[in-house]
Structure 1
Amino acid sequence: MKPFRYERPSTVREAVALVEGDPGAVYVAGGTNLFDHLKLGIDRPHLLVDVTGLAMDGVEALSGGRMRIGATVRNADLAAHPEIRERYPVISQALLAGASPQLRNMATLAGNLLQRTRCPYFLNVETPCNKREPGSGCAAAQGHAEHNAVLGASRSCAAVHPSDLAVALCAVDATVCVLGRSGTRRIPVTALYRSPGNHPERDTVLGHGEMITAVELPALPMAARSRYRKVGDRASFTFALASVAVAVDLDGETIRDARVVFGGLATRPWRATRAEAVLRGARADADRFAAAAVEELSAARTVPANAYRVPLAHDTLVATLRDLCGED
């Protein structure tokens, strides 16, 4: 392991100054993703800036029914928070669907959102990977493709985005609060992640040293009728082959509004706006649910090895909508 310095700043602004002023510096909190990368030789920072002692570990109510979640809130604590479970059940369900209890006790909100892909070629430093080493090529394009993205991939990268939580946050219109040297800004979670294009090494729109300090949840009544469903290789501690976060606003048997976000299929959390348009204003029945899934997934681009993911995602969305809308 390459030697590195370790700093524990006393304020958020001090932490930002340390990282922004050093291209070889990174933040660390739970470290559940970073420490794996240090051991594998994927990341070689020479400065770790520990932010766990900063005042970013609370969940608080804001005016107008909004909520604010600090960046270093542990995933286990957030999943168990009574108001989150009641008002935004999709968030709690997504957290519980990810990792293991031990990891959820360590991992943090911001760390979960910024975790990197689990593509096996990215994790193997002996293989070419444009995300890990820009310009080296994409081994996944020529190799085992069963886990490659079927939505949003480019010629440079087909790595699937790994976060369950990010998918759920997109479904409730959450916003990340970011601090950098030039000040603060707010970014919808749906706009936080970049499609790979020709620069797959850039996962997000954040600049070097910008820190996620919190996530804000809007007062979204339909979020109380929400669900996260995940299908993987096994029942626990697995990444999604297909997942979906859904929130619906029902008026009797009519869907007034809907949020649909796919996970496990794409290079970023995939807001399914075409499916939402099919659902909005329609009767809540199985035929309409299937039509919504077909409309969105018609954009999928597959090879024989990963084509199974499309019907898997179709059935996952239909089953989730049937549960939420009471369709037998």
Structure 2
Amino acid sequence: MKHFDYVKADSPEAAVAAGGAGTHFIAGGTNLLDLMKLQIETPGKLVDISRLDLATITETAEGGLSIGALVTNSDLAQDARIRARYPVLARALLAGASPQLRNKATTGGNLLQRTRCYYFYDTARACNKREPGIGCAAQGGFNRIMAVLGTSEDCIATHPSDMAVAMRALDAVVVTLQPGGDRRRIALGDFYQLPGDTPQIENALQPGELITHVELPPAPQGKQVYRKVRDRASYAFALLSVAAIVAVKDGKIASAALAFGGIGTVPWRDPAVEAALIGQAPSTAVFDAAADALLADARGQGTNDFKIPLARRVLIATLRELTGEAA
């Protein structure tokens, strides 16, 4: 048992004042507590934010929604506005974890959950994400669930969140409170960091910085779908997932937003994929071109090679569903 201090915060300002290096915020604790039990995370202090007034969903002046960091995954998935205007997000949330976990897991915590790489959780094996500089056992090891995009020589671990994939397609913005009292707005596309040679740095947050809200822009035009491929029907992380929003007008694709899970080291979105679709009439050739753009830099590691053709098939099937193009 590692000793740590425990503090209950009564406001976001008090929480960041109590934070800093070696401190973790805790709300639902569905990921952090597991990591502490395994001594992968050993915070010197826990700041309990579970009682803060950050558990509501409100309308924004622009016509979008502001989601408090403590809104649970269950409440977010069941909110009538989310289901009506952002069904891709509701479906992604319901595809993740079990009902019991969704009842505890929070919006902010979901964004910050750590990878499920086997070697990250096995402290007897090398993992640069867990302990920088000791190597990556997944490369050359059993890497079936690992990433094929955004990898580096130091890390091939996938990001595990379903929710973040849908939010990436929706152009979500993360709102934070910094220790000095300043607010910061970070586009989700800038929030996550590729592993490079610093895989232990996963996001743009500074020590003591607290996620307070996630903002969604006004609902996009077009049809929305979240498709997830996994080893079993429930409570399993994605081998591959896609959050897709496509609008067709006058026989051509007018807009497209596609984000992918299970194949990238971060929730993956490539503008080249959307550029290959927009302005084109739906067809097999166009869909193949989009898949080519997505997988141009894909790199398998052996037992995860299957993800590359799987991604092509799932993307094309999803685009056919959204555009009505027959196989």
Whether these two folds match at TM > 0.5 is yes
- Scaled by the length of structure 1, what TM-score is found? 0.96
Deviation at 1:6, TM superposition (A): 1.4
State the partner residue of 1:172: 170
C-alpha separation in 2, matches of 1:229 and 1:209: 35
- Indicate the SS of the match to 1:3: coil
Deviation at 1:302, TM superposition (A): 1.3
C-alpha separation in 2, matches of 1:33 and 1:281: 42
State the partner residue of 2:4: 4
The C-alpha deviation readout for 1:219-272, integer Å capped at 9, x for no partner, is 1432x6211111011111111111111111221321111011111001101102
C-alpha separation in 1, matches of 2:143 and 2:73: 31
Q: Are the aligned partners of 1:56 and 1:71 in contact in 2 as well (CA < 8 Å)? A: yes
C-alpha separation in 2, matches of 1:310 and 1:320: 16
Deviation at 1:280, TM superposition (A): 0.6
**CA RMSD in angstroms, aligned pairs only:** 1.1
C-alpha separation in 1, matches of 2:230 and 2:268: 17
- Indicate the SS of the match to 2:139: helix
State the partner residue of 1:191: 190
State the partner residue of 1:18: 18
The aligned amino acid for 2:44 is: H
Matched, 1:216 2:215: yes
C-alpha separation in 2, matches of 1:300 and 1:88: 29
- Scaled by the length of structure 2, what TM-score is found? 0.97
* Residue among 179, 182, 206 paired with 1:181: 179
State the partner residue of 2:70: 72
C-alpha separation in 1, matches of 2:36 and 2:171: 33
* Residue among 266, 281, 284 paired with 2:282: 284
The aligned amino acid for 2:8 is: R
Q: Are the aligned partners of 1:272 and 1:296 in contact in 2 as well (CA < 8 Å)? A: yes
Q: Are the aligned partners of 1:226 and 1:248 in contact in 2 as well (CA < 8 Å)? A: yes
The aligned amino acid for 1:211 is: L
State the partner residue of 1:259: 257
C-alpha separation in 2, matches of 1:303 and 1:11: 46
C-alpha separation in 2, matches of 1:112 and 1:124: 22
- Indicate the SS of the match to 2:138: helix
Q: Are the aligned partners of 1:148 and 1:306 in contact in 2 as well (CA < 8 Å)? A: yes
**Alignment gaps of 5+ in structure 2:** none
Q: Are the aligned partners of 1:262 and 1:272 in contact in 2 as well (CA < 8 Å)? A: no
Deviation at 1:305, TM superposition (A): 1.6
- Indicate the SS of the match to 1:142: coil
**Alignment gaps of 5+ in structure 1:** none
State the partner residue of 1:101: 99
- Indicate the SS of the match to 1:68: strand
Q: Are the aligned partners of 2:140 and 2:301 in contact in 1 as well (CA < 8 Å)? A: no
- Indicate the SS of the match to 1:292: helix
Deviation at 1:304, TM superposition (A): 3.0
C-alpha separation in 1, matches of 2:148 and 2:82: 31
Aligned residues: 325
State the partner residue of 2:230: 232
More helix by share: 1
C-alpha separation in 1, matches of 2:315 and 2:82: 23
The aligned amino acid for 2:53 is: A
Of all paired residues, the percent bearing the same amino acid is: 49
State the partner residue of 1:39: 37
C-alpha separation in 1, matches of 2:98 and 2:321: 26
The aligned amino acid for 2:214 is: V
The aligned amino acid for 1:203 is: E
The aligned amino acid for 1:321 is: L
Deviation at 1:5, TM superposition (A): 1.9
Q: Are the aligned partners of 1:175 and 1:186 in contact in 2 as well (CA < 8 Å)? A: yes
Q: Are the aligned partners of 1:24 and 1:47 in contact in 2 as well (CA < 8 Å)? A: yes
- Indicate the SS of the match to 2:254: strand
Q: Which moved more, 1:103-112 or 1:225-234?
A: 225-234
Deviation at 1:281, TM superposition (A): 0.4
Matched, 1:30 2:31: no
C-alpha separation in 2, matches of 1:80 and 1:234: 23
State the partner residue of 2:242: 244
Q: Which moved more, 1:2-11 or 1:64-73?
A: 2-11
Query: Runs of 4 or more off by more than 4 Å in structure 1?
Result: none
Deviation at 1:96, TM superposition (A): 0.6
- Indicate the SS of the match to 1:27: strand
The C-alpha deviation readout for 1:258-312, integer Å capped at 9, x for no partner, is 0111110011011021110110100123332232112211210113321100111
Deviation at 1:62, TM superposition (A): 1.2
Q: Are the aligned partners of 2:229 and 2:238 in contact in 1 as well (CA < 8 Å)? A: yes
Q: Are the aligned partners of 2:139 and 2:301 in contact in 1 as well (CA < 8 Å)? A: no
